[in-house]
Structure 1
Amino acid sequence: MAAMPDAPATAAAPRLDPTNPFAQPSALPYGLPDFAAVQTEHFRPAIAAGLDAQRAEWEAVATDPALPDVENTLEALERSGDLLHRVLVVFHTLASSVGGDEIDEIETDIAPQLAAHSDAFWLDRNLFARIESLTNAAPLLDLDAETGWLLQEYRKNFVRAGVQLGDADTERLKELNSRLVTLETEFSQRVVKAMEAGAVAVTDPARLAGLDDGTLAALARSAKDRDSHAGHLITLGLPTQQPLLAQLDDAGLRAELLAASQDRGAGVDDASDTRATLLEIARLRAERARLLGYEHHGAYVAENATAATSTAVNERLARLAGPAARNAEKEADELQEMLDADPSVADGTALQAADWTNYAEKVRRDRYGVDDAVLRPYLDLDRVLADGVFFAANQLYGLTFHERADLAGYTPGVRIWEVREEDGTGLGLFVGDYYARSGKRGGAWMHHLCNQSHLLGRHPVVVNNLNLTAPPEGEPTLLTWDEVRTCFHEFGHALHGLFSDVRYPTLSGTSVPRDFVEYPSQVNEMWMANPAVVERFARHHVTGEPMPAELLAKVLAVAEYGEGFATTEYLGAALLDQAWHQLTPEEVPTDPEEVTAFERTALANAGVGLELVPPRYRSTYFNHTFGGGYDAGYYSYIWSEVLDADTSVWFAEAQIAGDGGLNRLAGQKFRDKLLSRGNAQDPLQSFRDLTGRDPRIEPLLARRGLQD
């Protein structure tokens, strides 16, 4: 689809119908969008008006006859686009969390328009000239540190976007950007279709042996909700490994489920085949990187991250890959021994990838006396949130959470809490969207509905998204231990957004380099195992009795089991991401049938090509990288975990009376020195301000058992 032509610079922005709910800022608390008033037909005219309005605002800055200063250039740019922002945060929320044909069609249509809009800004030489002028004058302007950093970020991003290219190269860059955003949208939509098409229907309930009654009821409900002719329907989650693999006794069904997961997007059906799309994405990203003067797309991405170079990324991943694979192989030998001793399995049966999590769960049960079936009754979502996630935030930061039933989310089941400071002052809103639904993209994520900014007078409104299977009506939502971890993880992102305390919206909250953004969320995971926290939330959903002390001790001990598998499957995905994005355009395969062979070779060359440990995401459903957002950046999780592991040491050093650091003094310092800073300074400087040192890798190696 062709990019939207540039609007005439002097054209007046069309007036949006005042009955359109986006015509005025929301009057709801904290600027929460009025979802109840929004209909699908409101999006196109509001987006069109928003695009034109912001173009006019940019043109006013670019043609201002006054000498550039902070107010008429930086602040004017930061204030621009209010209407467009209002509509896009709602639209993108619905596109990712609700979906549907109408939303998908709009998303496909506006993707190239938004790419052209972005190019109209970053490739505007008049705007860049004003930024250059301000940059040159900066030593004489006595700018405060945050404003100076913002100016530096603007200049860097203009250059990285290609503003200094010649005319012919600029036109080609625009074509590449437009095509890429269309392809990324297509890839993401196809991934959702592939998850839905890959659902495994089970007509014989005997094949579901091993599942508890609650899970069986949820699978029956899934079949009913999706009009399946089967009695039960196992829907797919985004990662390769599916949770039910750990519970299903039927080896054949396990193999069928893992195959359905791994085959997604690989030509099982035309509507969800992503192979040609991902190859074109990889090729065009490589071409764009070359056009901008970089060796490959990986180098382009790394330059704007804390890693700085692809060489640094490769060295870090290589250092971890060998020890992780060796640990995984040792774990595989142990699982094979358990399978050999299983009287229900024929002699000589070899362990398969689909068996891994099932027998690993048996190890946890036999060695530690725990498995998901034992734990689930103690892990009710409501209690995990109120007495776990929110309680830890109260102990560390003094926050309180007040559910606002008077405020409506964007779809039934979405919950909203007002977050208040220790003195009762309102901080912002937290929105929880915890359940899977048809049309919702898989996985878990956090996003903003409103970014904090002192310049704009805005408070934060943040959303956490999970994809839990909804229980039958009136039944509790019982979690696995990993799902509890996900709740804490995503809330760490939410805190990063809620605590933002900056002037400029561009620098707000989680607007930090990709390989830093996962750090605060990973730190927040540590509190789920803090004795004072887990004792409150791990209680039986019927009796309210706490999880027995001996069981809790085993849960915490078993958390250290299986790091070889977990690290290897993660590294498999991270290394695949780098392999695709460290290619020149000529090196990218052209035949979709070559995708699987490329993957196999890349994993083998990296030392993680274990058949028993498939990567967390195969290329065909790797939405992080080919849907955009984490392209050449999936390494960020392990990079951030270096900071996380070292910060866990810092919290331990800040503990009071054995509280593990769960105290207001430590929490306030973490908030003030790091969480509140957003991208208002070098994020690694924020880490140094907190800990007084550069990050060390040794705590991570010890945590994951990867010491050589």
Structure 2
Amino acid sequence: MTRHSEDLQAVPGMMASMSHSPADLDPANPLVAPSALPFGLPDFAAIDIAHLRPALEAGMAEQRAEWEAIATDDALPDVANTLEALERSGQLLTRASVLFRTLSSAVGGEEIDALEAEITPALTAHRDALWLDTRIFDRIESLVNAGPLLDLDGETERLLQEYRRNFVRAGVKLSPAETEELRALNGRLGDLQTEFRQRVVKGMSAAAVHVTEKERLAGLDEGTLAALAKAAADAGRSGGPEGAEAGWLISLRLPTQQPLLAQLEDAELRSELLSSSLNRGSGIDPETDTRGILLEIARVRAERARLLGYEHHAGYVAENSTAQQTSAINERMAMLAAPAARNAHAEAAELAAMLPEGAELSPADWSYYAERLRKERFEIDDAALRPYLELNRVLTDGVFWAAQQLYGLTMKERPDLRGYAEGVRVWEAREENGEALGLFVGDYFSRPGKRGGAWMNHLVDQSGLLGNQPVVVNNLNLTPPPEGEPALLTWDEVRTCFHEFGHALHGLFSDARYPTLSGTSVPRDFVEYPSQVNEMWMENPAVVGRFARHHSTGEPLPEELLRQVIEAAGYGEGFATCEYLGAAIIDQAWHQLAPEDVPSDPEEVTSFELAALARAGLDLDLVPPRYRSTYLNHSFGGGYDAGYYSYIWSEVLDADTVGWFTTEGQIAGDGGLNRMAGQRFRELLLSRGNTQDPLASFRELRGREPDTEPLLVRRGLTG
């Protein structure tokens, strides 16, 4: 969930190649001026991909001129002519780049992919142009050295220190020769990450499983079958039976485990589906092979870290996180790995006992038999649950209603405002007193070219300095239902809706003066904390009683079924923790290497992974990691490199805070679902962004340091 200003990573030598400046940008280009739509929402109806390149190039030229004016200002540095001038700079580029990133991640396609590959070097060089400018750094240093004489308020002092740290971490103190080497490394890295991201998206499409015999899909309901038939037809597949000429296409989600593994009765098809998922990027399809790319990414990152004075890339990343040191990260994961593996072994034994005599449990069987066990032990049937989990009701009567109870927030859909693709919806968020707060954009369904997973991003960052109110986006990858049919969710997909809206609240409630410090601009291993807390409300009786209703009859989810769902929530934590830790350990292993220790042969990628998992005691054949290196887009696509551990790190704060809501924060047994608790959480956490040390905000809420015990209890890792 990295802010857009931190995503502009790429290569050198930009200015000579730029063909546009602000002066010659076509006045008809809709990006030339701020959008006239409410809250600055981009005018997607007027914008075409062809508008992006000239706007990006002109935006870079404009911001370079603004930086030059700061660097050459004869006046003594002060907050207005240095810090605020930096914060005000680049508004044309911001408008163009947020739109560019949104379209590249959520829409994709050959045209936007080609533009991304071509423009990335210029964007990287542009970023370097600021952070390697010693003249601007000297102005920052002079403000730092002035210290108390400036009498800065806390937020401005925080901004000053953040700028100084970012300049130093970017390499501003390197020699001229080292600076040129750094520019080359940054440029190469930008290209590689772009290529990795694009190959991962293409790899999901290439690995989709096409089924032409309906009997192989036993276990799937008619709604799911219709959606798979539509996917096959949309993809232009052929070779299906009469009446379903395109057959059925099982599209892949980004993680290793695929949702339909829990339902498919055909063991061979389950094995084919999991194998297709696991082998993405492994060279089976040369066009989407990511192995050589990820090895070079790991090597370039290691070389850059050494050049900047760090032992390895993971150490460079950790310094800018709440963890601060890789030793702390390694210790946390080691603490969790052994009990998680123990629990996974126990779960595997239970599942194996359910198999026919003589049969052996395979990784492709795990989800299927875990679902059977859940039905048997907790009397839960996901197929029976789905009709009660309709997307619109989940959003309106669940996600949004909980936010209203906690924060007084109201959400009104704005059908007059257009999104960037078909099916994208826009809501206006208002305070309890009716005051306009910002816009929320929901993009819930998968489409060809859209990257997998779920994420939040900003179209407009909140800023008091710039007078901007936030426009935030949630992206999911739900399977689109057939025309006219409701979108029915799994319990996990409901959780994802609440999770991503937690990120949205972090952006919507931001109350920062400076855009650099607003919203989700917090350390990577803190940013997941508010979103994880927001998941708790999906199981609050008052909330679930509203959204969990049958889509056709309106009947509420039977209380007994709800009780069983909540009781079952803790089942399978051994598997879940192990698959997550597996990916986090792989991420750390690649990024704790010295340059010379990175393998050179793509065939070594798998053996490297297995060795890393074995050292951690997580080389479990039955529990493949949540992501293998070849499709670990969080890491090799950029954004969460050496930072995938962040989810479990943030969960310590999350579990501790859930304890606060359900004890000190609750009123008359409401589990904390009240305005008093919500307002305190909003004021101390959600509104502050990075205007102060985020852990200080947590300590204000809890009155102490974080406690790991609630997390261990939640994941069944005690004893």
TM-score (norm 2): 0.97
Cα contact 2:407–2:678 (8 A) shared by 1: yes
- Superposed CA deviations along residues 206-254 of structure 1, whole A, max 9, x for unmatched, are 0000000100000000001100114100000000000000000000000
Cα deviation for residue 6 of structure 1 reads 4.0
CA distance in 1, matches of 2:33, 2:382: 49
Question: Residue 160 of structure 2 aligns with which residue?
Answer: 151
Confirm whether residue 407 of structure 1 aligns to residue 417 of structure 2.
yes
CA distance in 1, matches of 2:437, 2:700: 24
CA distance in 2, matches of 1:2, 1:73: 26
- The 5-angstrom pairing of residues 57-96 of structure 1 reads 57-96=66-105
CA distance in 2, matches of 1:320, 1:196: 34
Cα contact 1:138–1:148 (8 A) shared by 2: no
Cα deviation for residue 12 of structure 1 reads 7.2
- Superposed CA deviations along residues 379-417 of structure 1, whole A, max 9, x for unmatched, are 000000000000100000001110000000001100000
CA distance in 2, matches of 1:420, 1:589: 53
CA distance in 2, matches of 1:228, 1:564: 39
Amino acid at match of 2:272: E
Confirm whether residue 211 of structure 1 aligns to residue 220 of structure 2.
yes
CA distance in 2, matches of 1:519, 1:118: 28
SS for the counterpart of 2:375 is helix
Cα deviation for residue 268 of structure 1 reads 1.4
SS for the counterpart of 2:662 is helix
CA distance in 2, matches of 1:44, 1:665: 48
SS for the counterpart of 1:464 is strand
Question: Residue 651 of structure 1 aligns with which residue?
Answer: 661
CA distance in 1, matches of 2:505, 2:180: 41
- Superposed CA deviations along residues 53-84 of structure 1, whole A, max 9, x for unmatched, are 00000000000000000000000000000000
- Superposed CA deviations along residues 450-488 of structure 1, whole A, max 9, x for unmatched, are 000000000000000000000011100000000000000
Percent of paired sites with the same residue: 70
Confirm whether residue 114 of structure 1 aligns to residue 123 of structure 2.
yes
SS for the counterpart of 1:36 is coil
Question: Residue 142 of structure 2 aligns with which residue?
Answer: 133
SS for the counterpart of 2:682 is helix
Question: Residue 523 of structure 1 aligns with which residue?
Answer: 533
Confirm whether residue 27 of structure 1 aligns to residue 36 of structure 2.
yes
SS for the counterpart of 2:585 is helix
Confirm whether residue 310 of structure 1 aligns to residue 326 of structure 2.
yes
SS for the counterpart of 1:616 is coil
Which of these residues, 296, 307, 311, is aligned with residue 291 of structure 1?
307
CA distance in 2, matches of 1:401, 1:62: 44
- The 5-angstrom pairing of residues 556-571 of structure 1 reads 556-571=566-581
Cα deviation for residue 707 of structure 1 reads 1.1
CA distance in 2, matches of 1:120, 1:327: 51
Question: Residue 688 of structure 1 aligns with which residue?
Answer: 699
Amino acid at match of 2:120: A
Which of these residues, 331, 337, 357, is aligned with residue 321 of structure 1?
337
Amino acid at match of 1:315: E
CA distance in 1, matches of 2:64, 2:133: 11
Paired residues, number: 701
Cα deviation for residue 4 of structure 1 reads 3.1
Which of these residues, 638, 642, 645, is aligned with residue 628 of structure 1?
638
Cα contact 1:12–1:56 (8 A) shared by 2: no
Confirm whether residue 612 of structure 1 aligns to residue 622 of structure 2.
yes
Which of these residues, 360, 363, 376, is aligned with residue 353 of structure 1?
363
Confirm whether residue 706 of structure 1 aligns to residue 717 of structure 2.
yes
Question: Residue 510 of structure 2 aligns with which residue?
Answer: 500
Cα deviation for residue 371 of structure 1 reads 2.3
Amino acid at match of 1:292: L
Which of these residues, 172, 196, 199, is aligned with residue 190 of structure 1?
199
SS for the counterpart of 2:354 is helix
- Superposed CA deviations along residues 334-381 of structure 1, whole A, max 9, x for unmatched, are 0000114xxxxxx31110000001000001101111121011010000
Cα contact 1:298–1:632 (8 A) shared by 2: yes
SS for the counterpart of 2:219 is coil
SS for the counterpart of 1:390 is helix
Confirm whether residue 255 of structure 1 aligns to residue 271 of structure 2.
yes
Cα contact 2:11–2:190 (8 A) shared by 1: no
Which of these residues, 245, 252, 277, is aligned with residue 293 of structure 2?
277
Cα deviation for residue 424 of structure 1 reads 0.5
Question: Residue 335 of structure 1 aligns with which residue?
Answer: 351
- Superposed CA deviations along residues 152-179 of structure 1, whole A, max 9, x for unmatched, are 0000110000000001110000000000
TM-score (norm 1): 0.98
Cα deviation for residue 15 of structure 1 reads 3.0
Cα contact 2:11–2:120 (8 A) shared by 1: no
Question: Residue 133 of structure 2 aligns with which residue?
Answer: 124
SS for the counterpart of 1:75 is helix
CA distance in 2, matches of 1:2, 1:220: 43
CA distance in 1, matches of 2:90, 2:591: 32
Cα contact 1:289–1:297 (8 A) shared by 2: yes
Which of these residues, 247, 250, 258, is aligned with residue 234 of structure 1?
250
Confirm whether residue 37 of structure 1 aligns to residue 60 of structure 2.
no
Cα deviation for residue 319 of structure 1 reads 0.2
Question: Residue 161 of structure 1 aligns with which residue?
Answer: 170
Confirm whether residue 363 of structure 1 aligns to residue 373 of structure 2.
yes
**Structure 1 169/655 Cα, relative in aligned 2: closer, same or farther at 3 Å?**
same
Cα contact 1:266–1:274 (8 A) shared by 2: yes
SS for the counterpart of 1:339 is coil
CA distance in 2, matches of 1:5, 1:90: 21
SS for the counterpart of 2:482 is coil
CA distance in 1, matches of 2:605, 2:14: 35
Cα contact 1:13–1:56 (8 A) shared by 2: no
Amino acid at match of 2:700: D
CA distance in 2, matches of 1:14, 1:185: 30
Cα deviation for residue 3 of structure 1 reads 3.2
- The 5-angstrom pairing of residues 371-410 of structure 1 reads 371-410=381-420
Cα contact 1:501–1:676 (8 A) shared by 2: yes
- Superposed CA deviations along residues 468-512 of structure 1, whole A, max 9, x for unmatched, are 000011100000000000000000000000000000000010000
Amino acid at match of 2:686: L
CA distance in 1, matches of 2:539, 2:22: 54
- Superposed CA deviations along residues 242-289 of structure 1, whole A, max 9, x for unmatched, are 000000000000000000000000001121000000000000000000
Amino acid at match of 1:20: N
Amino acid at match of 1:305: S
Question: Residue 223 of structure 1 aligns with which residue?
Answer: 232
Question: Residue 187 of structure 2 aligns with which residue?
Answer: 178
Question: Residue 101 of structure 1 aligns with which residue?
Answer: 110
Amino acid at match of 1:41: A
Amino acid at match of 1:397: Y
CA RMSD of aligned residues (A): 1.2
SS for the counterpart of 2:45 is helix
CA distance in 2, matches of 1:677, 1:350: 52
SS for the counterpart of 1:656 is coil
- Superposed CA deviations along residues 274-331 of structure 1, whole A, max 9, x for unmatched, are 0000000000000000000000000000000000000000000000000000000000
CA distance in 2, matches of 1:2, 1:464: 29
CA distance in 2, matches of 1:44, 1:516: 34
CA distance in 2, matches of 1:679, 1:12: 33
CA distance in 1, matches of 2:428, 2:24: 34
Structure 2 gaps, min length 5: 1-9, 241-246
SS for the counterpart of 1:430 is strand
CA distance in 2, matches of 1:461, 1:43: 20
- Superposed CA deviations along residues 510-537 of structure 1, whole A, max 9, x for unmatched, are 0000000000000000000000000000
SS for the counterpart of 1:35 is coil
